[in-house]
Amino acid sequence: MNLKSERRGIHVDQSELLCKKGCGYYGNPAWQGFCSKCWREEYHKARQKQIQEDWELAERLQREEEEAYASSQSTQGAQSLTFSKFEEKKTNEKTRKVTTVKKFFTASSRAGAKKALAGKLKEIQEAKAPSPSIHRQASIETDRVSKEFIEFIRTYQKPGQDIYKQCKLFLDTMSHKRELSIEEQSECAQDFYQNVADRLQTRWKVPPEKVEKAMDEVEKYIMTRQYKYVFCPETTDDEKKDLAVQKRIRALHWVTPQMLCVPVSEEIPEVSDMVVKAITDIIEMDSKRVPRDKLACITKCSKHIFNAIKITKNEPASADDFLPTLIYIVLKGNPPRLQSNIQYITRFCNPSRLMTGEDGYYFTNLCCAVAFIEKLDAQSLNLSQEDFDRFMTGQTSPKKQESDSFSPDVCLGVKQMCKSLDLLSQLNERQERIVSEAKKLEKDLIDWTDGITKEVEDIVEKYPLEIKAKSQALAAIDSENVENDKLPPPLQPQVYAG
Amino acid sequence: WAQQGTVTPEGPRPSHTYKVVLLGSMSVGKSSLAYRYVKNDFRELLPTVGCSFFTQILELDEATVKFEIWDTAGQEKYQSVCHLYYRDAHAALLVYDIANKQTFSRAKLWLEELEKKFLPDEIVIALVGNKTDLAAEREVTTEGEDFARTKGLLFMETSAKSNHQVNDVFMAVGELWHGSSPFIVTEMLLPASPACTTP
């Protein structure tokens, strides 16, 4: 009885264990009751469906965009002709590139050939994809940003859809404008920002804070996609300028905080911590793709600088303190591709962020710092021209003159060594002093003995020892005992009879 | 930037953002002036870390004005790069120390720089003689006012220390922009309730 009920408790019908599809295998609740094989099939089907739907949506949007574009452009006919030409040219270029790459690799090695083959396969796959204009760079970050953007834009409902369309249209237009100069592309981007903001404000009556937020997201979305085409493009001399600035900063490695009148004392551990953080932030700027993220790095760096000044001076920093410190941080950090980053931000950041606001202020300061470094001369460091030239050519280093202030880029070991050397020389000096003191002491001792001897001699000379005659009688007592014999003989004991 | 309709259906008053640049030699009290101005109205919100970028909202009769105050480095060696600061500025305060004649001559130099970059009606320029609390050591007397008059600048003597006419300077700048100038550069809509955003 007991046994039976227990059995009933855990009893599961055999059919429930089987795959829901009825293939005869056992199912698994983790696979929603399917067996592994059927689950894979089902899952795959569902995914395919999802993908299909996504494509359809994308294509519909694309069509709508194109229609909107067609209606907005009166000279559509001529334009599309040029666009198709562009497209053709682009594909031609692409195939040419692939073949050259292949040739190059087959000539070199087997592994290379394999790589080229894989590359080509990828190209083919890409070409096979239904819509090449959407299927562009499939990097993980781009995908993530797109997904976030779509999610964000959904919260804006109808205006959101409109923005999305605008963005797609813009990206498409830009993909045909790669041949234009970077200034023209920058203008397109700026116009686009302005148009979208206006549209949101006047057409959709979106409140200003929400417009601002949406504009940030729009910037993030389009610039993540545009980055690789418009950051440090080959058509400009940005790269040359980058190298020039880098070289310049390297040549100025000897500049000390004192020369720049930096109100920051790195002796304080907290301050040196802040300095390191500020340098990290400014270097990190290069790794960001969105102009606004780059700006955020500059702002973060600036905040750390303000902290460093505040800890050192114990009062809030003013611009008089801030700019020199920022210059010092830039010199110390030598951030990569500084000019490219500044140019990129100037060209493609949403202008309302750049011209006003705190981020804009710090960005302007950074521009000032770089401009100053480029122009920096002897006078601006309070040095004589000869000294400046000697430091620049590396003949001497200011560190030797003021051993207390080490250049910040000297490693810890060298610093320790310098300190030890310093201590050793001090020790040496002290030892020498001890030896000389000891010698002096010895000499003093000798002099003292001599002095005493001399003094004694002097005294002896002055007061010679005179033996006086008076004492002769006394002396005779022992020596001449002549009269003793004359004394009566000692008494003899006598015996009396009685 | 495109000029927009000034009235919205929701009803907040039109508001404008003005960028004000502080120019002047080192330690004439540029930061203190801005600090005093911002602090006076909003005692609880003080900039804790930096003292070089401020925002302040000013309610005028017709509109809300948001000031963005940019402090600049006053050392002479940075003068060559300073033009970057006053790009797109709506107003510039040329600050000098009334107890130091040299700072007054430098303010004049700054005016020359500004005149090179801006057309007369593009920017409001105010000459500010700071530190009136040091009246006993005064070196610049009527020259300031005379100079301002010949150049057509706003003129005011202030003391950031004893809070003399600090508000008035900014108020005058805001009113001048709002009242007469046809050249309004940035317009933004802000919530009706005043809020101060300090760094």
The model's pLDDT over B68-111, given as tens digits with 9 standing for 90+, comes to: 999 999 888 888 888 888 888 999 999 999 999 999 999 999 99
Q: What is the pLDDT of residue B42?
A: 44
* B1 — pLDDT class (breaks 50, 70, 90): very low
Q: Could you tell me the end-to-end alpha-carbon distance of chain A, in angstroms, rounded to an integer?
A: 157
Structure confidence by residue, pLDDT tens digits, A288-305:
999 999 999 999 999 999
Residue A427 above 90 pLDDT? yes
β-sheet bridge partners, residue B156: B128
**A25 interface with B at CB cutoff 8 Å:** no
Q: What is the pLDDT of residue A47?
A: 82
Structure confidence by residue, pLDDT tens digits, A9-43:
456 666 677 787 778 788 877 777 788 888 888 88
Distance of CA A375 to the CA centre of its chain: 25
β-sheet bridge partners, residue B97: B130
Q: Shortest CA distance to B159 belongs to which of B40, B21, B2, B58?
A: B40
Q: Shortest CA distance to A207 belongs to which of A248, A245, A159?
A: A159
- Encode A352-385 in three state secondary structure: HHHHCHHHHHHHHHHHHHHHHHHHCCCHHHCCCH
Structure confidence by residue, pLDDT tens digits, A373-395:
999 888 888 888 888 888 888 87
Answer with the residue of higher pLDDT: A458 or B181: A458
* A470 — pLDDT class (breaks 50, 70, 90): low
Most A CBs within 10 Å: which of B65, B72, B86, B97, as the mutation test of the A interface? B72
Q: Shortest CA distance to A344 belongs to which of A482, A453, A236, A480?
A: A236
Q: Would the CB atoms of A208 and B47 count as touching at under 8 Å?
A: no
Q: Would the CB atoms of A318 and B80 count as touching at under 8 Å?
A: no
Q: What is the pLDDT of residue B148?
A: 92
Structure confidence by residue, pLDDT tens digits, A179-205:
888 999 999 999 999 999 988 888 888
- Residues B24, B107: contact at Cβ < 8 Å? yes
Tell me how close the Cα of B147 comes to any Cα of chain A, in angstroms: 26
Using an 8 Å CB-CB cutoff, list residues of chain B that contact chain A. Answer: 1-2, 4-5, 8-10, 17, 19, 22, 26-27, 30-31, 35, 47-53, 68, 70-75, 77-78, 80-82, 84-85, 87-88, 186, 188-191, 199
Mean pLDDT of all residues belonging to chain A: 79
Please tell me which of the candidates B50, B82, B190 has its beta carbon nearest to residue A208.
B190
Structure confidence by residue, pLDDT tens digits, A137-152:
457 888 888 889 988 8
- Residues B87, B174: contact at Cβ < 8 Å? no
Q: What is the pLDDT of residue A326?
A: 94
**A229 interface with B at CB cutoff 8 Å:** no
Name residues whose C-beta falls within 8 Å of residue A457's C-beta, 6 or more positions apart in sequence: none
Q: What is the pLDDT of residue A208?
A: 82
Q: What is the pLDDT of residue B129?
A: 93
Q: Could you tell me the end-to-end alpha-carbon distance of chain B, in angstroms, rounded to an integer?
A: 26
Q: Would the CB atoms of B84 and A368 count as touching at under 8 Å?
A: yes
- Residue of chain B with shortest Cα separation from A362: B53
Length of chain A measured in residues: 498
Provide long-range contacts, Cβ within 8 A and 24+ apart, for A145-154: A145/A220, A145/A221, A145/A224, A146/A221, A148/A217, A149/A217, A149/A220, A149/A221, A152/A214, A152/A217, A153/A214, A153/A217
Q: Would the CB atoms of A355 and B186 count as touching at under 8 Å?
A: yes
Q: Any idea which of A240-254, B13-27, B144-158, B166-180 has the lowest mean pLDDT?
A: B166-180
Q: What is the pLDDT of residue A240?
A: 92
Q: What ipTM did this prediction achieve?
A: 0.82
**A152 interface with B at CB cutoff 8 Å:** no
Tell me how close the Cα of A318 comes to any Cα of chain B, in angstroms: 5
Please tell me which of the candidates A205, A307, A371 has its beta carbon nearest to residue B84.
A371
Residue A101 above 80 pLDDT? no
Report the alpha-carbon distance of residue B12 to residue B191 in Å, rounded: 7
Q: What is the pLDDT of residue A382?
A: 84
> In which residue are the tokens 């000044």 written?
A309
- Residue of chain A with shortest Cα separation from B35: A318
Q: What is the pLDDT of residue A286?
A: 93
- Of these ranges, A99-103, B95-99, B166-170, the one predicted with the greatest mean pLDDT is B95-99
Residue A168 above 60 pLDDT? yes
Q: Would the CB atoms of B80 and A375 count as touching at under 8 Å?
A: yes
**A235 interface with B at CB cutoff 8 Å:** no
β-sheet bridge partners, residue B71: B22
Q: Please compute the mean of the pLDDT values over residues A247-268 and round it to a whole number.
A: 89
Q: What is the pLDDT of residue A130?
A: 45
Q: Would the CB atoms of B31 and A318 count as touching at under 8 Å?
A: yes
Q: What is the pLDDT of residue A80?
A: 46
* B12 — pLDDT class (breaks 50, 70, 90): low
Length of chain B measured in residues: 199
CB contacts, 8 Å: B1 with chain A: 194, 351
